Amino acid sequence: MEWLQRHMPKMVLAPSFFAVLLFVYGFIAWTAYVSFTRSRLLPKYEIEGVIQYERLFESPRWEVAITNLAIFGILFIGIAMILGLLLAILLDQKIRTEGALRTIYLYPMALSFIVTGTAWKWILNPGLGIEAVVKDMGWESFEFDWLTDPDMAIYTVVIAGVWQSSGFVMALFLAGLRSVDEEIIRAAMVDGVSTARIYRSIIIPSMAPIFMSALIVLSHLAIKSFDLVIALTGGGPGYATDLPATYMYAMAFSRGDLGQAASSATVMMMVVVAIIVPYLYSELRTRRD
């Protein structure tokens, strides 16, 4: 009984510990291992070296996926950050209807990316969507066919992604703005410093950790992006809007090429580790100081 009491905390934590050990770390190891084999339809377990990675980086489809991730990642993160910061600063001006506006700006975050993709697919429909609206207003030659244009389709993913996630950045920044020391701001105002200057030199610099958090969350969202592309473009036209996540899925479940699926997933994992680990490390270190 005594023994049971003493070891109860460990016993309670044990199932989760072993589950995570197997289903997270064991599975990551399995995928990494299989990425060094010649697995096709079924997993094989003889190590064959880096052949899958050679195939991966020679594949034009993977190149498209990586290029798209760069375009999408930079634009999605950049625009969502700027828009989120702008909205937060605008809302911070003692707005009477702040609560209602905040609710409106943030509701897309409660939606599934599949719903968002479905809605924007309809709005951006070349025949009946925005294009028709602008034509009806008198601009007869207006064309907006990004959704079906292989060179432009990836930008429609940016449009829908920013719409969905910018409100979340706003919420983060707004919380950050509210946590800046009121005294310093009041002192600066008494000294006649302009509002723009106060934001530029006092408030925004003090929010560096929040910028960092927003950056991490958004880049994480960008790397994992899958549902939005599937619902909006299905990866097409052709594979013009493929991202690493859709490439991996196609290899795993429709092409029957487990080796490629495993190697692309491993590359994704490495990218996430490269972003998250320094962040977690610095977070833990600053807390200890």
Q: Which of residues 102-161 bind another protein (CB under 8 A)?
A: 103-116, 118-123, 125, 128-130, 132-133, 136
Long-range CB contact pairs, 247-250, < 8 A, 24+: 247/61, 247/62, 247/65
Contact pick of 80, 153, 171, 204 for another protein (by CB under 8 A) = 171
Judged by beta carbon, residue 38 or residue 183, the one nearer another protein is 38
The binding track of 261-280 with respect to another protein, each residue x by CB under 8 A or -, is xx-xxx-xx--x---x---x
Stretch that binds another protein, among 57-65, 148-156, 164-172, 183-191 (CB under 8 A): 164-172
* Alpha carbon distance 36, 34 (integer Å): 5
* Cα Rg of the chain (Å, integer): 24
* Spatial contact of 259 and 38, defined as CB atoms under 8 Å apart: yes
Report the nearest approach of another protein to the CB of residue 204 (Å). Answer: 17
Q: Tell me how long the chain is.
A: 289
Judged by beta carbon, residue 137 or residue 183, the one nearer another protein is 137
Stretch that binds another protein, among 51-59, 66-74, 199-207, 249-257 (CB under 8 A): 249-257
Report the nearest approach of another protein to the CB of residue 283 (Å). Answer: 7
- Show contacts with another protein in window 44-103 (CB under 8 A): 87, 90-91, 93, 95, 101, 103
Neighbouring CB atoms inside 10 A of 37's CB total 20
Crossing angle, helix 98-106 and helix 60-91, to 10 degrees?
A: 170
Report the nearest approach of another protein to the CB of residue 139 (Å). Answer: 14
* Alpha carbon distance 95, 101 (integer Å): 9
What is the DSSP code (8-state) at residue 37?
B
Q: Note whether 210 binds another protein by CB under 8 A.
A: yes
